[in-house]
Amino acid sequence: QIDPEKHEKLILEIIKNLYSKIAEFKIGQKTEKTLSPGLEVTFEKRLTYADVFLFSLISGDWNVIHHSEEIAKRTKFGGRVVHGLLTTSLASALMEMLPGIVVLLSVEFQYIRPVYVGDTVRGKAVVVDRLPGNRLRVEVKFINERNEVVVKGNCMVLVWDSVNL
Amino acid sequence: QIDPEKHEKLILEIIKNLYSKIAEFKIGQKTEKTLSPGLEVTFEKRLTYADVFLFSLISGDWNVIHHSEEIAKRTKFGGRVVHGLLTTSLASALMEMLPGIVVLLSVEFQYIRPVYVGDTVRGKAVVVDRLPGNRLRVEVKFINERNEVVVKGNCMVLVWDSVNL
């Protein structure tokens, strides 16, 4: 009899290894800087077709403009694009890079330019306000390899002290 | 010599099969209703630890509150929670269920209550406005199994005619 939790862990390890063969495996590392307005973190990642495929698996969005080069070519985009919400999933890593245990309160993102499958995007987050109740307002921006802004937005987060955990 | 595209496809098929063993594989199906204000689509999915793990793989966010039951227990949440941006990745499926080829222009989400690993969330999207340039304003809401609202938000999308594709 296999322990179901061990079985799940084993399957996820295999998935991680397979994913790493066809995508960029990266972990957003905690900054060592002190939390204060002006604090900036960056996270860069190449968004491969494996990322698009995994995002479709978890989200249930199998829109053809992400999967069919043939159909995507005939649209205004001219090629397969990455899900908007996949690009901005990198904001999750940016928030996690801030000091403490970071909890998301709200987000708003504007998708300005398409991100194509295979593009490398660079996310930048800047703490702009420290508000009562350990809340932070963080500005985020994503640029592509041609230095064009692809997404602009804001996140509100709550920060818990991780010292006693 | 293996064709790299075929190799990638094969690996992704294996990942899909492994994922389906430990998670809910679901596809947001296009509605057959006509596009007009009031049009509503719903998408329900159980968010398992496999979804959390895959979201961490693609986003780079390995925050302990999603992965360590031991640490998460000692926080205000009392247990492992799903990434906020994983819950709202289901908004991508909701948008894709609308008629035509749907392109995301902007989103805003408020995370009201935590979603725990294993919770089933039900997303509902309602077209509230049809704006010039084939744009739609869509209200979204996610509820948990206890009928509590976990996320509220809005999406702006562009709709392309899919007839000639």
- Interface mutation vs chain B, best among A85, A101, A108, A117, most B CBs within 10 Å: A85
- Is residue B89 within 8 A of residue A59, CB to CB? The reply is yes
Provide the ipTM.
0.97
Which chain A residues are Cβ-neighbours of B165 within 8 angstroms?
Answer: 64, 71, 74-75
Structure confidence by residue, pLDDT tens digits, A84-119: 999 999 999 999 999 999 999 999 999 999 999 999
Question: Distance (Å, rounded) from C-alpha A104 to C-alpha B48?
Answer: 19
| B38 pLDDT above the threshold of 90 | yes
**CATH number for position B125:** 3.10.129.10
Asked if residue A87 belongs to a domain, the reply is: yes
pLDDT at B161: 86
Instruction: Map residue B22 onto helix, strand or coil.
Output: helix
* Domain hosting residue B109, numbered range: 4-160
Considering chain A, what percentage of its residues have pLDDT values greater than 70? 98
The answer to whether position B67 is within a domain reads yes
Query: CA A110, A115, A119 angle in degrees (round to 5)?
Result: 140
**Per residue in A106-155, pLDDT tens?**
999 999 999 999 999 999 999 999 999 999 999 999 999 999 999 999 99
Residue A144 lies in a domain: yes
Residue B83 lies in a domain: yes
Query: With bands split at pLDDT 50, 70 and 90, how would you rate the model's confidence at B124?
Result: very high
Per-residue model confidence (pLDDT) at position B109 = 99
> What single-letter DSSP state applies at residue A31?
P
Residue of A59, A82, A108 to mutate, testing the B interface (most B Cβ within 10 Å of its Cβ): A59
- Judge whether B42 and B124 are in contact, CB under 8 Å: yes
Chain B closest-CA separation from residue A155 CA (Å): 10
Facing residues of A158 across strands?
A103, A135
Angle at B24 between CA A46 and CA A59, to 5 degrees: 35
Q: In chain B, how many domains are there?
A: 1
Residue A165, in any domain of the structure? no
Phi, psi at A66, each rounded to 5° = -95, -20
Q: Please answer yes or no on whether A76 and B26 come within 8 Å at the CB atom.
A: no
Minimal C-alpha gap between A18 and chain B (Å): 7
Looking at residues A65-75, what average pLDDT do you find? Answer: 94
Is the CB of A85 less than 8 angstroms away from the CB of B89? yes
Q: Is residue A147 part of a domain?
A: yes
Domain presence at residue B165 = no
Q: What is the mean pLDDT of residues B72-97?
A: 97
The whole-chain average pLDDT of chain A stands at 96
Confidence band (pLDDT; 50, 70, 90) for B64?
A: very high
Residues B139-164: tens digit of each pLDDT: 999 999 999 999 999 999 999 987 66
